[in-house]
Amino acid sequence: MKSISEIQLHASKIVREAGKIARGWFGRTSILEVKEGFDPVTQADKEIDQFVREKLSQPFPTHGFVTEEDKDKAADSEYVWVLDPIDGTKHFAGEIPLYSICLALKHRGETVLGVVYDPESNQYFEAIEGQSQRNGKPISVSPKTTLDQCLVCVEVPNMESLDAVRERALDWYGRLNRACRRVRILGISGLDLAYCASGGFDAYARLGCPTKEWDVAAGFYIVKQAGGEVRHEPNDLIVAGSTALCDELLEVLND
């Protein structure tokens, strides 16, 4: 069995190649279909999904897969890859160069490797146990300790959510807007979390959005290995960042 470091090298090469596929399609693809939940799919999603699964299956034939485009290949393998081929498909299809490829590896249910790659800016975030990096350099979560000095990235539910869910999220958003220096919404979970891990965003809050494993598995792991925490609360409330900022976020949101 290959070590996690060896697996990491394979994953890095494959994800970077997948990024070339994404850039090749950018600006010349359209939405092929819209899945349940109004999630769009482009040809790039399908091609990258197939490419990554095929390339990973060659050195790791016993590994399973959970991907946004094909959710039925996870099986009960000891090792399972979790893939979002294009996180930010709406941006991608609209020719907004703000999207990422997200890949995580789980061993017996626990994440052991995380990758978030932005092909347009060539920002490559990755983590294995005890270390998170951006383009080969160590990263860590923000050292700030009070929200009034912080830039916080949030995600909010869309129009398909129940009225009560959206109203709760708007209340939470208002609280953060009053407590934080600035609040931003990118709408791309992988990059939101990667920039939280690197201190670009001081903290992250997911305000009642349904959580899909392929959207967050890699990003959550990168945050944790960068010295941060990810805390799950009732009503699909999730916060991430340093211990101090997670404490203050939950104090503000649960008051």
Cβ atoms of 115 and 85 within 8 Å: the answer is: no
pLDDT band at 28 (very low <50, low <70, confident <90, very high): confident
Q: What separation in angstroms does the CA of 137 have from each of 39, 227, 246?
A: 34, 15, 25
pLDDT at 32: 64
Cα separation, 221 vs 105, whole angstroms: 10
Ordered by start, the domain boundaries in the chain are 4-138, 147-253
More confident residue, 1 or 229: 229
For domain 4-138, the CATH class is: alpha beta
pLDDT tens-digit map of 71-99: 656 667 899 999 999 999 989 988 999 99
pLDDT at 56: 96
pLDDT band at 19 (very low <50, low <70, confident <90, very high): very high
pLDDT at 42: 86
Task: Choose the CATH number for 147-253 among 3.10.20.30, 3.40.50.880, 1.10.10.10, 3.40.190.80.
Answer: 3.40.190.80
pLDDT(70) > 80: no
The backbone torsions φ and ψ at residue 237, rounded to the nearest 5 degrees and listed phi first, read: -95, 125
CA-nearest of 91, 86, 88, 95 to 51 is 86
pLDDT at 1: 65
pLDDT tens-digit map of 126-174: 999 999 999 999 999 999 999 999 999 999 987 666 778 889 999 999 9
pTM for the whole structure: 0.94
pLDDT(9) > 90: yes
Residues 6+ apart with CB under 8 A from 78: 62, 107, 108
Cα maximum dimension of the chain? 51
